[in-house]
Amino acid sequence: MDTFGKKLRECREAQELSQNELAKLIEAHHSIIGKYERDEVKPTIDVVKKMAQVLNTTVGYLLGETKQQDVLKDPKMLKRINDIENLPAKDKECLLLTIDNFIKATKLNSL
């Protein structure tokens, strides 16, 4: 499993930023980025939010909650998920079951 530090470094390098450049963009001291990347220090959630925004990824990705860097960056998809979340519990359950069945059928058809 990739650590926070490893994901941070990969994202920083993908954006072609030095540790010093990232530190400036998030208004932090340059030495702290190296400590984050070596997993010596854990940043606050506010710092993680700033880093995710600068690195064009999500907090969830940096924290290991998702495997894709850009999951839910699509505003249309995010709106749909928020709309689903606001549905009554029974409707949400039915819709999610439908989506699950659609995904399962799609996977079976691609074999």
Domains of the chain: 4-62 (1.10.260.40), 75-109 (no CATH)
Q: How far is CA 67 from the centre of its chain?
A: 8
Measure the CA–CA gap between 104 and 50, rounded to whole angstroms.
37
46 CB-near residues (< 8 Å, 6+ apart): none
Distances in Å between the alpha carbon of 4 and those of 19, 30, 49, 60, 85? 15, 18, 13, 10, 28
H or E segment to which residue 101 belongs: helix 89-109
Q: What is the tens place of the pLDDT at every residue in 49-102? A: 999 999 988 888 899 887 766 655 667 777 888 888 899 999 999 999 999 999
Q: What is the tens place of the pLDDT at every residue in 1-42? A: 689 999 999 999 999 999 999 999 999 998 999 999 999 999
